[in-house]
Amino acid sequence: MSIKVVEGKNIVRDYHVGGGLFRAQRTVHAVKGVSFSVDKGKTLAIVGESGCGKSTLARIITLIDPATSGELFIDGNKVDIARGGLTKEMRRKVQIVFQNPYGSLNPRQKIGDVLGEPLLINTNKPAEERRDLAMKMLKKVGLGPEHYNRYPHMFSGGQRQRIAIARALMLNPSLLVLDEPVSALDLSVQAQVLNLLADLQDEFQLTYVFISHDLSVVRYIADDVMVMYFGEAVEYGSREEVFSDPKHSYTKTLFAATPRADVASIKARLAKKKAAA
Amino acid sequence: MALLDIQNLVVEFQTASGMFRAVDGVSLHVDEREVLAIVGESGSGKSVSMLAVMGLLPWTAKVTADRMSFNGRDLLKLSPAERRKIVGKDMSMIFQEPMASLNPCFTVGFQIEEVLRFHMGMDGAQRRARAIELLTQVGIAEPAERLNSFPHQMSGGQCQRVMIAIAIACNPKLLIADEPTTALDVTIQKQILDLLVSLQAKYGMGLIMITHNMGVVAETADRVIVQYKGRKMEEADVLSLFESPMSNYTRALLSALPENAVGDRLPTVSDMLFEPAPSGAAA
C-alpha cells in the first residue's frame, strides 16, 4: 500500500492587509479550501499564474506559514504550527528549494557552511561529521569537493540551484517542496537540473511538490497535477487526465497559451500569416 | 536592401585577465517586415551584439565590424550625437525586466512623453494625446488615468506593455526585443507576443527577438539565428530549423525541450555537443 507523505484537507489561508487608522481592514483570500495528497516517491505539480496562491500553499506545506483553517498531515501526523511549536523532527522532514538561486544563498557564506548549517542547527553532529556529509552531498548533486570553500558568486545559476537542492537534502527530508526551481535557468541547464531531481527522487525515494508555471516541465516531471486559479484548485488529477482532457476553462486557456515548438504548429502559423498578408 | 546589415561583428571586453571576446564574428541582416529570432543560452553574446548595434555598451567594450549599417547609414561612422537621434526613434529596444527598466521615480506618462519630446518635438497637448493613443494600442485599460501611475503601481505585464509603448512611440523601423517575456507568466507571455507580432505586421517593422525559449521562436519568428559562445552556429528559416536542424548545438537545444523527452532522461546539451556531425552538417 502506498504511504501518504503529505495530505492537506480544505486548506484556507487569508491575509489581512491595510487597516490603518482611517482605513478599513481588507481580507485577501490567498488559498480558498484546497485539498490534496501525495504518495511516497511521487510528484505533485502545482500550476498557476502569479498571484494564484501556489507559493502561499508551498509556504504552508513547508511549515513556514500557518494555514487559517484546514488540516495538514505530514507522514500521517497532524501538524498545526499556529498552535504549539514544531519539533526538530518535523522541520527535518520538509525542505524547500526556492525559485531564484541568486537570492537564496547568502553571498558571504562559503558553500561548505551553507550545506553544514542545517546540520548545525538541527542536529548535534560534530564538525568533522558535518563536513563529511557536506562533501558527500556535493558529489551527489554533481559538484566536487573543490567547491567546498567557494562563495556563491563563483557559481553559475545552474550550479547554485544544485547547491540549493543539496542544502535542502542535507537533513534527509521525506518531502521536498520545489518552488519554480528551473524557471530562472537556461534550457540546457534546466534539463540537467530536472535530470538531477529525477535521479535523486529514485535514490532517496523522495516526494516532490513541484510548483511551476511551465506546462512542458510539468508534463515531464509530474505524476499528479493541480491547477490553481485565484486560490482555488480548479483542476486536480493524474497527469494523463489533466493533459488529455482538461475540464476547466482556465486550464484550457493555459494550454492554449503555452508556446508550441512542433513543426505542425509552425506550419499552421506561417500559413495563417501568408493568408493575412 | 536590408534594414540592418552587420558583417563580422566582434565585441571584446577589457577584463583583469586580458580581452574577453563576447561576440566573435557574427554577421546578420534584417529586412523590413521581417521577424528575426536570435536564440542562445546566457553568455552566448546574443544581447551584447544587439547592445552594440544600439550603442549601449559601456566604454570597456571594443566594437569592431566590417560593416554595420542601418537604413543605409553607417553606424560605425556616426558621432554619438547623431547616433542618439537614431536610437529610440528609428531603432528601439525592449528589455527583459520591465520592472527594472522603467524609472521608478517618474510616472508612466512622463516616461512615454519624454521620447516624444526629444525625438518628435511635440508640444504638451500633442504628447499627451499621443501617449494615450499608444497606451490604447498596447492594450492598457483606462489609458488617460494610467498616465499618472508610477511603475510600482502596475503589474509586470502592464509594465512590459508600457515599455513597448515607449519603444514604438516614434514609429521605429526596427524593434529589438531582448527576452521580452522571460519574466512573465505563460498567459501574459502569449498576450505580449501576440501584441508584438500584431504591431510588427501593422507598422511593417523589422523585429529582432532575442530569446532562449524555443517555444517563443516557434510562435513568432520568420528566420532564426542560433548563437553559442559568441559564434553563430546556424541560420535558417524557422520551419527548416525545427524540421532539420543542421548544427549539433541546435539539435541538442531542441532535444533538451521537456516536451521532446523520450524515456526518463532529458538529453542535455553537453551530451550531444561533442558527437560528430552527420555528413553535410555545419560544424
Give the nearest partner residue to B269 out of A188, A221, A267, using CB atoms.
Answer: A188
- Is the Cβ pair A260, B218 closer than 8 Å? yes
How do A4-18 and A25-39 pair as beta strands? antiparallel
Residue contacts between A and B (CB atoms, under 8 Å):
109
B154 touches chain A (CB under 8 A): no
Q: What would the pLDDT profile of B81-115 be if each residue is shown by its tens digit?
A: 999 899 989 999 998 888 888 999 999 999 999 99
Candidates B213, B253, B268; nearest CB to A259: B213
Element (H, E) at B219: helix B214-220
Name the residue ranges covered by the structural domains of chain A: 4-276
Q: Which of B139, B137, B138, B117 is nearest to B128 (CA)?
A: B117
Q: What percent of chain B has pLDDT over 90?
A: 53
Torsion angle defined by CA atoms of residues B122, B127, B129 and B132, in that order, rounded to the nearest 10 degrees = 150
Q: Going residue by residue through chain A (277 aa), what tens digit of pLDDT does each one get?
A: 578 889 999 999 998 877 777 778 888 888 999 999 999 999 999 998 877 888 889 989 998 888 899 999 988 888 888 777 778 888 889 999 988 887 889 999 999 999 999 999 888 999 999 999 999 999 988 888 889 999 998 888 888 899 999 999 999 899 999 988 887 777 778 888 898 999 999 998 999 999 988 888 898 889 999 999 988 999 999 999 998 889 999 999 888 888 887 888 888 888 888 887 6
Give the C-alpha separation, A275 to B42, whole Å: 36
| B208 and chain A in contact, CB less than 8 A | no
Q: How many domains does chain B have?
A: 2
Cβ pair A260:B219 closer than 8 A = yes
Q: What is the 3-state secondary structure (H, E, C) of A249-260?
A: HHHHHHHHHCCC
Based on the fold, state whether residues B133 and B235 are members of the same structural domain.
yes
Same domain, B132 and B267: no
Residue A184 and residue A216 in contact, taking contact as beta carbons nearer than 8 Å: no
- The CA-CA-CA angle for residues B212, A152, A189, to 5°, reads 25
Q: For the segment A64-109, what is each residue's pLDDT rounded down to a tens digit?
A: 888 899 999 988 888 888 777 778 888 889 999 988 887 889 999 9
Identify whether residues B139 and B271 lie together within a single domain: no
Question: Domain range for residue B281?
Answer: 249-283
Asked if B266 and A186 come within 8 Å (Cβ–Cβ), the reply is: no
Rounded to 10 degrees, the C-alpha dihedral B80/B84/B90/B95 comes to 110
> Nearest CB to B256: which of A187, A221, A273?
A187
Give the closest-approach CA distance of B67 to chain A in angstroms: 31
Identity of the residue in A50, A194, A266 whose CB atom sits nearest the CB atom of B218: A266
* B239, B257: one domain: no
Residue B65 is assigned to a structural domain of this protein: no
Reported pTM: 0.79
Residues 257-276 of A with CB under 8 A from B: 257-263, 265-267, 269-270, 273, 276
Topology of the domain covering A4-276: Rossmann fold (3.40.50)
Q: Among A116, A211, A221, which residue's Cα sits nearest to residue A167?
A: A116
d(CA B175, CA B3): 11
